[in-house]
Amino acid sequence: ETHGISFRIQISVKELLDTDVLLKLLFHLPVNYPSTLPDISVNSDQLTRAQCMDVKDKLLEQAKKHLSEPMVHDLILWAQQHLRDVIKQSATVRNEKTTLSKGTEDGIWMLLLHLDHMRAKAKYVKTVEKWASNLRLTGRLMFMGKIILILLQGDRSSIKEYLILQKTSKVDVDSSGKKCKEKMMSVLCETEVQSQHKRFQTFEVKEYSTPEELQKEFETAGLTTLFSEFVPSLLK
């Protein structure tokens, strides 16, 4: 009712060399869909990250043509019919310069998440590290006592994509050991990075033994206000 729905669809497409490309499409339909465009995430083991981003961009272009009418089925059909063209175009058009200019279009954004717990900690941490790496996000996964925070910086589209993955993937296990989705996550802050904020150069997993150590991490990054606004209430 408040977040809309998310679902994953896998489709197989015959590609250039007549090999099957398995496309994993993740759709998040907001509450007011189809008046609002869905969020789309594209993944494939056979395509590069850049090609997946190109497919996603083209799907969003198509989505705009179907605004105010149900569109997921049409988008899937379009992907099946046009994947070959998009990949061909991607190979000729994309170079480092276009990647950089595209990445800075929306400015750099920052996301602060709070997780209630991690039962399968090692697997969970590995998954978060992999997502951050794939989406070129930097920041920290922070543990302090029972507090778990994820602080991310990167392109706005990548931040949105990370959120979809975090909400829809089976990242942990429940009390009986079965794989489960993250149900106890809260978004504390999602905002554009300001000039006084320092950019994290890497994504690191860190453990802190005292609240003061955790606070210092935020202060070093120029995020004192962010800490004082959201973290003290979690320490109580």
Tell me if 210 is assigned to some domain.
yes
Same domain, 156 and 79: no
180 and 117 in a common domain: yes
Statement to judge: residues 128 and 228 lie in one domain: yes
103 belongs to a structural domain:
no
Q: What end-to-end distance do the CA atoms of the chain give, in Å?
A: 30
Distance of CA 211 to the CA centre of its chain: 28
pLDDT of amino acid 83: 86
Is 204 in the same domain as 123? yes
The answer to whether residue 172 scores a pLDDT higher than 90 is no
Is residue 27 within 8 A of residue 7, CB to CB? The reply is yes
Q: Domain containing 57 — which CATH number? A: 3.10.110.10
- Counting residues of the chain whose pLDDT is more than 90, the rounded percentage is 41
* Cβ–Cβ < 8 Å for 166, 112: no
CATH classification of the domain holding 123: 3.30.70.100
Averaged pLDDT, 65-70:
90
**Average pLDDT, stretch 154-165?**
91
98: in domain = no
Average of per-residue pLDDT across 137-165: 93
Residue 122: the pLDDT is 92
Q: Are 127 and 214 within one domain?
A: yes
| 114 & 195 share domain | yes
In a domain, 101, yes or no: no
- 35: containing domain: 5-91
Domain boundary among 33, 58, 91: 91
Q: Are residues 61 and 132 in the same domain?
A: no
Do 117 and 229 reside in the same domain of the chain? yes
In this predicted structure, the answer to whether residue 46 has a pLDDT above a threshold of 60 is: yes
Does residue 194 register a pLDDT over 70? yes
- Residue 173, domain member (yes or no): yes
pLDDT of residue 45: 84
- Which of 32, 59, 91 represents a domain boundary (last residue)? 91
Please report which confidence band the pLDDT of residue 17 belongs to, taking 50, 70 and 90 as the band edges: low
Do 27 and 64 fall within a single domain? yes
Do residue 137 and residue 57 come from a single domain?
no
* For range 46-54, the mean pLDDT: 84
> Given 91, 121, 150, which residue is the final one in a domain?
91
Total domains, the chain: 2
In a domain, 150, yes or no: yes
Answer yes or no: do 121 and 188 share one domain: yes
Is pLDDT larger for residue 1 or for residue 173? 173
Q: Please check whether residues 67 and 152 belong to one and the same domain.
A: no
